Amino acid sequence: MHDIKAIRRSPEFYDSGWSKRGLAPQSTSLISLDDKRKSVIAELQDLQTRRNDASKAIGQAKAQGRDGDAEALIKEVADLKEAIREHEDAERRASDGLDAALAGLPNIPADDVPVGPDEVANVEVRSWGHPPSFAFEARAHDVLGQDLGLMNFEQAAKLSGSRFVVLSGALALLERALANFMLDIHTQEFGYREVSPPILVRDDAMFGTAQLPKFADDQFHTADGFWLIPTAEVPLTNLVREDILQEPELPLRFAAHTPCFRLEAGAAGTDTRGMIRQHQFSKVELVSISTPEDSLDEHERMTSCAATILERLELPYRVMLLSTGDMGFSARKTYDLEVWLPGQNRYREISSCSNCGDFQARRMNARYRPKGQKGTEFVHTLNGSGLAVGRTLIAVLENYQTETGHIAVPEALQPYANGLKSIGPAA
């Protein structure tokens, strides 16, 4: 959410930022909407003043025995009350129109974000590890899982339709082990506070993190008005909604393992096989609430925390700085972690770590009081996957596959998998 006062002060800055995202200049139309709102407010205030003056004059006219004047003033007050009601409605419409226009515009990219239309303009920042070399043709995770008898898409289709999966036996154990492994590292080593949040949220929570109103078609909505969370970013970030924090409390760091739900309405025909893109998936999410001064460092730290999971599992990855055309709506800067998948012979996203600046905080009215000051400022919010559990499972299956179709369990994961060292076909 943007501040119309800031847009009025620096329209060129905002138009330049939106142009980097492929949008036409917006400031002129926004300022026009704000002018209209201000004009209605001024007219409303004038009507209220006239009503108050006329109301006082009624008493004076009656006290002086000027009954005719009093009757005329009473009629004038009645007419003014009707005009005030009409102007109050007009003010609401003008304010709602401005708010809707502001809510539909994305965040302004940071200065160091590469400008480009899509992922082709993303920039590789660094890489870690080397893709494994097999003496056999690498198989995709869905082939491996189904050959093991532990990954079943047909059963899931009977239950729920396409883009679902049933994991069983050692693969179900491995998925649970991965989540616990991630949470332990983030909470015990990196200081994130584990949270078990609701996975059903209300409109204002989804608006706060900018899933609404623009991306309503990508979300699951219940019959009684709740939304199934697309990521734990939504409840975790909204923990500070409408709060005023004290500077010594910051940064706040939260971690949660939750199921996530996405309609994938805009992904028809893509990644239709396997577990890459599903309606329901599991993710460990990281959220930080920081001061503006610390958010850049917090972003680098969060990305490093997520990357550590891949390094402990010895999974090759690279860090990509996303371009303006590939970056999310709320983000001002995003790093994607992409893990190597031998079955696809390419890197695929496994985590996005974004600095949203004060964009979400304005929508949530989440503020903090700087030390030694009476006034408040908006916090900065950050979020990232630490990691997507299902995609990490995919990466383990494909990078640790053997010629016989067995899956070696990464050494770091074995204590979380009851000592399991290898996964073979279901008995």
* Catalytic positions: 262, 277, 349, 352, 391
> Is the CB of residue 127 less than 8 Å from the CB of residue 318?
yes
**Would the CA dihedral through 275, 279, 280, 282 be positive or negative?**
positive
Joined tokens for residue 110: 């940071």
Token pair belonging to 199: 């996975």
Kindly write down the DSSP assignment for every residue of 332-345, as one continuous string.
Answer: SEEEEEEEEETTTT
- Spell out the residues 6+ positions from residue 165 whose beta carbon is closer than 8 angstroms to its own: 151, 152, 153, 156, 275, 278
169-184 vs 141-148: helix axis angle to the nearest 10? 130
Find out whether 333 and 354 touch, Cβ atoms under 8 Å: yes
- 287 forms beta bridges with 254, 383
403 backbone φψ class: left, alpha, beta (φ>0; ψ -120 to 50): alpha
- The separation between the first and the last C-alpha atoms of the chain, rounded to the nearest angstrom, is 55
What's the chain's length in residues? 427
Strand partners, 384: 286, 353
**Cβ neighbour number for residue 371 with a 10 Å cutoff:** 9
